[in-house]
Amino acid sequence: MMPRSIASLRVISDSRPRAILPSPILGMLIFVIAEMMMFAGLMSAFSIVKAGALGWPPPGQPRLPVEATAFNTAVLLASAAFLYVANRTYARNRNLAKRPLFTAMGLGVFFVSFQGYEWVSLIRQGLTLTSSNHGSFFYLIVGMHGLHAIAGLSVLGWAALQLSRGRLAPSSFAATQVFWYFVVGLWPVLYFMVYL
């Protein structure tokens, strides 16, 4: 995401028309919109199949761990809150931003690991990709979100690395935040649709 052409570097400095948003943020926003549409596609497919089924979840299939995942949802939301704090701190003093940023990442890692733990126990109980459409959609949607969470954590890791080297540009940091807020903001919606 590092802009290299002089176009992007000059946007603010010369007499060009004012950029509507810094380029990294705008680019990331467009990407996030495309991603949202992908999840919208998954969720509409899910609700169509669910509405056409006789009973949901199908009989004989294990129930999803609603309470444990509610806790995990709270962990993920807390991660976003710490990222927000990191951003506020970054604006005042870049060196102090590291701690809240690492906390946000740690909570994100916890979320992903906990989801993985949940998957393992669900597979033991007999919910697999091919056991029913319930299982297929569960692993597809949650797994897709998990992949995005891992990608988001990598991007945050990159930001943390740049921050510790003192090279993190404000607009790049903002772009990584946009992606992580997307990952976090999407989750409660998925939770309501898939788990409840």
Partner 1 sequence: MAESIPADATHGHDVHHHAEQSFWSKYVFSTDHKMIAMQYMFTGMAMALIGGFMAYAFRMQLAFPGIEVPGYGTVTATDYNALVTNHGTIMIFWVAMPVLIAAFGNFLIPLMIGCDDMVFPKINRLSYQIFLLSAIVLISSFFVPGGGFGGGWTAYPPLSAKGEYNLTSLGSSLWLVAVALEFVAFLLGGINFVTTAMNARAPGMKMFDIPIVVWLIVVASILFMASVGPLIAGAVMLFMDQNIGTAFFDPDKGGDPVLWQHLFWFFGHPEVYVVLLPAMGITAEIMCVFARKKMFAYKTFIYTTFGTGVLSFTVWAHHQFVAGIDPRMANIFTVTTLLISIPIAEMCFIYIATLYGGSIRLTTPMLWALAFVAEFLIGGVTGIFLGASGADIYFHDTYFVLAHFHYTFFPIAIIGTFAGFTYWFPKMFGKMMNETLGKIHFWGTIIPFNGIFIPLFVLGGAGQHRRIYNYQHFPDLAGVEMQDLRVFATVSLIIMLAFQLVFFYNCFISWRKKEKDAGKNPWKANTLEWTAESPPPHGNWPELPTVYRGPYEYSVPGREEDYYPQNVPG
55 is a contact residue toward partner 1 (CB under 8 A): no
Q: How many CB atoms lie within 10 A of CB 183?
A: 26
Number of chain positions touching partner 1 (CB under 8 A): 49
169 is a contact residue toward partner 1 (CB under 8 A): no
Stretch that binds partner 1, among 20-28, 119-127, 157-165, 185-193 (CB under 8 A): 20-28
6 is a contact residue toward partner 1 (CB under 8 A): yes
31 is a contact residue toward partner 1 (CB under 8 A): yes
The C-alpha atoms of residue 134 and residue 48 are separated, in whole angstroms, by: 12
Sequence-ordered list of residues with C-beta below 8 angstroms from that of 159, at least 6 positions apart, any chain:
101, 168, 172, 173, 176
Work out how close the CB of 23 gets to partner 1 at its nearest, in angstroms, rounded to a whole number. 5
User: Residue 93, exposed/middle/buried by CB under 10 A (0-12, 13-18, 19+)?
Assistant: exposed
The C-alpha atoms of residue 67 and residue 61 are separated, in whole angstroms, by: 18
The residues of the shown chain that bind partner 1, judged by CB under 8 A, are 1-11, 14-17, 19-23, 26-27, 30-31, 33-42, 44-45, 48-49, 52-53, 58, 129-130, 132-133, 136-137, 140, 144
